[in-house]
Structure 1
Amino acid sequence: MYLATALFIVAAVAAVWASVAPRFGIVRAALTGAAIFAILALATVRHARNEPHAFKIGPDGMSVWSRTGILRAQGRIVGCSQWSDCLLMLSLEDEGDRSHRLLIAADMLEPDVFRELAVLARRSAHV
């Protein structure tokens, strides 16, 4: 996924360069390309830090933690959608009735853990 993101950033910078350079010159194209690169690179780093890293499933719900140890979402499972064995979407509702949506790709977890989470989510969503 990081390779695809890096290729997207390169393509975006090249597109900006190709459209800005003929109109405003090489210097402005270089500055604009550098700004676009910085914005996309920082967004990529921020996304990687906030990506779910640890899941804790308890009797009263589920909590999701980021790689930096920040609690990203917590609550009981109120909705579940599953696309084959590839993707699981959970809807968590916290005590303040706020809803959090969580996408879990199958390759984020071990296959048995992914199946177990899918079964638990389907059961919790229908209760």
Structure 2
Amino acid sequence: MYLATALFIVVSVAAVWATVAPRFGVVRAAMTGTAVFAILALATVRHARNEPRAFKIGPDGVSVWSRMGTLRAQGRIVGCSQWSDCLLMLSLEDEGGKLHRLLIAADMLDPDFFRELAVLARRCAHV
């Protein structure tokens, strides 16, 4: 996934360069390309740091921890969508009523845990 993201960033910067350089010159194209690169690179790093690392299933619901060890979302499951055995989208509602949406790819988790989470989500979402 990181390779695809890096390729996306390279293609995006090249597209910005190809669009800006003929109209405004090489200097502005370089500045714009650098800005686009910085924005996309920072967004990639932020996404990687906030990516779910640990899940805990408890009697009150599910809690999700990021790679940095911070609590990303916690609450009971109020909604669920599943696309085959590939992707699971959960809606968690915390005690304050705020909704957190999580998109979980099957290859992020152990297959048995993914299946268990999907069954729990379907059961909780329809209750």
Q: Same fold by TM (over 0.5)?
A: yes
**Which residue pairs with 1:19 in the alignment?**
19
1:83-121 deviation per Cα after TM superposition (whole angstroms, max 9, x unaligned): 100001111111111111111100001111111111111
1:1-127 matches, within 5 Å, as 1-127=1-127
Q: Normalising to structure 1: TM-score of the pair?
A: 0.96
- Structure 1: how far apart are the matches of 2:80 and 2:27? 51
Quote the Cα distance in structure 2 between the aligned partners of 1:106 and 1:22: 44
- One-letter amino acid of the counterpart of residue 6, structure 2: A
Partner secondary structure for residue 85 of structure 2: coil
CA root-mean-square deviation = 0.8
| Rounded Cα–Cα distance in structure 2 between residues aligned with 1:38 and 1:80 | 35
- Could you list the structure 1 runs, at least 4 aligned residues long, displaced by more than 2 angstroms after superposition: none
Taking the aligned partners of 2:63 and 2:30, their CA distance within structure 1 comes to: 44
How many residue pairs match? The answer is: 127
Between the aligned partners of 1:11 and 1:76, the Cα distance in structure 2 is 40
- Structure-2 separation of matches of 1:24 and 1:79: 49
Separation (CA, whole Å) in 2 of partners of 1:96 and 1:19: 46
Runs of 5+ unmatched residues, structure 2: none
